[in-house]
Amino acid sequence: MTATPGNPAYGASKAGVIHLTRSAALEYARKGIRINAVCPGFTRTSMVQRMVEDGRFVQPGIDAMHPMGRMAEPQEIAEGVLWLCSDAASSRLK
């Protein structure tokens, strides 16, 4: 999500995290330090489920916001983060 109606600070803070990540990644790359941000969008968590239950979001609308047509599962996000933390994510040739 790039913006949330009625909550401009959310979109601004997400943009700030992305820019800070890009800047830090460029600054530290030559030292062999990889820097990433994980911004998965809607993920099937208890917080999102409460938002659906109290009517702040509707499931079909959430699903339509994603290219795959569904929310991410927490396990999927965790697996991506674990990969980023591993040597497999290195761009160094071995």
Question: What positions carry a catalytic annotation?
Answer: 10
Q: Give every CB contact of residue 2 below 8 A, 6+ residues apart in sequence.
A: 11, 14, 15
Element (H, E) at 10: helix 8-28
Q: CA–CA separation, 43 vs 31, rounded Å?
A: 33
